[in-house]
Amino acid sequence: MYAQVVLFDGFDPLDVIAPYEVLSAGSDAAGGALELSLVTAEGARTVISGTPGLSLEATAKLDPALPGLIVIPGASGPVAADPDVVDTIPVLLARVGGTDLPALVRQAFDNPDLIVATVCGGSLALAMAGVLEGRTAVTHRLGLEVLEATGVTVVDARVVDDGNLVTAGGVTSGLDLGFYLLDRLFGPKVALSVEHLFQYERRGIVWRNAGLEPVEV
């Protein structure tokens, strides 16, 4: 099974590293069940993050035929529009739509052995590219209205499980996403062992389309 963590120009480093490290430790706890890699829509290359001075090396092109996980981060940088700043977060996320990533994600959704997961603005990048219409998802709270405007049903939860799409909220929720994916793939014993190793307790309830509808009181 594979865990492909996607990089694009301007990516948020913590969105990448937090789930990557959790999934790597989970793979060890599950006897090497996951083969992790950093990938892009274009292939192997050096990818500059949105955080000054930090780049990562992608070793391969994203392959939607591989079973396992695809994890897509958001972007880092200024949020508000500034005439002196070209690469704000909204601009960086919108640029993803001009790459091959949306088409590759569409192919991934057709693979029954794949889960597409996003952290922070990763879901917003896909939604603005028209990939998530009709799905249920979350993003950073600053982007919830934009996400809803793309035709996505928004749930303001830490992690939202919509079957083969699992999305997480703000930047640090990448940790919670990683632990939830371990729980879903390998069960609570593996996830708990990594929680103990990291000395971190997951936050929030994972939303799934199940159970009773709450009654307003």
* pLDDT, tens digit (0-9, with 9 covering 90-100), for 83-110: 666 789 999 999 999 999 999 999 999 9
What dotted CATH number matches 2-201?
3.40.50.880
| Location of structure tokens 């002196």 | 84
* pLDDT, tens digit (0-9, with 9 covering 90-100), for 61-81: 999 999 999 999 999 988 876
Per-residue pLDDT at 83:
64
CB of 118 within 8 A of CB of 164? no
pTM of the model: 0.95
Per-domain boundaries in the chain = 2-201
Q: What percent of the chain has pLDDT over 90?
A: 93
Interatomic CA distance for residues 170 and 121, integer angstroms = 8
Interatomic CA distance for residues 38 and 3, integer angstroms = 9
Angle at the Cα of 166 from the Cα atoms of 214 and 188, rounded to 5 degrees: 85
SS (H, E, C) the chain: CEEEEECCCCECHHHHHHHHHHHHHHHHHCCCCCEEEEEECCCCEEEECCCCCCEEEECEECCCCCCEEEEECCECCCCCCECCECCCHHHHHHHHCCCCHHHHHHHHHCCCCEEEEEECCHHHHHHHCCCCCCCEECCCHHHHHHHHHCCCEECCCCEEECCCEEEECCCCHHHHHHHHHHHHHHCHHHHHHHHHHHCCCCCCCEEECCCCCCCCC
